[in-house]
Structure 1
């Protein structure tokens, strides 16, 4: 196997973009192995697959995230930490990270068999999640745990930030429904559109909150498309709340300053104390 021949399989981008997004360089042979799905291996005479690297990467990911949560949340009991970890370390979360790895995401670089290719394997959550773990296993083999941990924490920083705020259902649809109920916005409604032939359909989901579209997601199944749309909507509503809160604080400070120009220092100190 050579990197040149496989780096553009399916017309995908060069692997340099993938490695840049990953944040490390990898040995050509090790990277090739990490990208080799079993469907490709079987069609090419039983080549080694990425499954052993996936096994290793799963442990690297789990340890890195568990340690981070333990250190960052000294006040949370084991049960809560386990729920947060489950929201970060799961198939859909891994696939989300994989899709963000450079131009075309990780899927553009995977070595897939023809059958898997034709059925949308490049964007299948399970395949992307396994490939993500394989890459982490490869990083660990080449650089050791400390460097692998750095890669994990960089790639999963967004999920680690959102994890403590996710609902008990640990999925975007449940979390969005909890958020809209909390704000009196009613139950989210999903509209689905399908395109493509029966053997290769693509679904687009639009989620409406209060009758207004708040997120769009595309996937190979209705469920996957709805989850993606819900994730976008959840992020949008959360950002709206943060913006409103920030504007409210700024407005309060402005009123205080204009009402009592001589007390600006005290008002600023009070605002800072409140923020802390």
Structure 2
């Protein structure tokens, strides 16, 4: 996968790309990345990339010209149009499903804004996607882009080594992930559930599914709204609802 990042602060990304899974992905040629400081593309003699908003108001707005020209410099080398992602608090809430969708792409371009916002023509004339990582505002789009890139790259086949790791993540199955345990079997009086020590993989699979469903029911019941359940799972949910109602 190729990733281009339009940012005024490329130095923010170095620690992220040179650490952990992303570094591994780069070293093994699963990922190529490039920073573009769109200030380098401004036609303003003072290298300004922002200006006052028409109609007045607080803050400054990113001008369209530097960003359009920066994108054009990337696209002239491409035969297939890349996905152009605008990091924006007004965008589509980011989900694991979106990460899985983007992981299938060969080329992603991220636009990281600053100041009060973007000239609307960047949004309507360039972006194929607008993404928000949450209902809050950051000082710029860089941190959000890092989150999206990390979550996408780890889904590229081969990056994690064991591809089932990503398949079983929270949200990938529509549920939160089941609890995990490792050695020792008992720690400070807290014991690993007997079923996990039993060696009976059918019972272990059932326990994990039940725990994932229960954790989702208790913590994120909204995720269950569009799920389909087996007869057994419906019975579990019924019991938990009755127990919750009587408590």
- Asked which structure has the greater RCO (Cα within 8 Å, sep 6+), the reply is 2
Structure 1 or 2: more strand by fraction: 2
TM-score over 0.5 for the alignment?
no
Name the TM-score, length of structure 1 as normaliser: 0.26
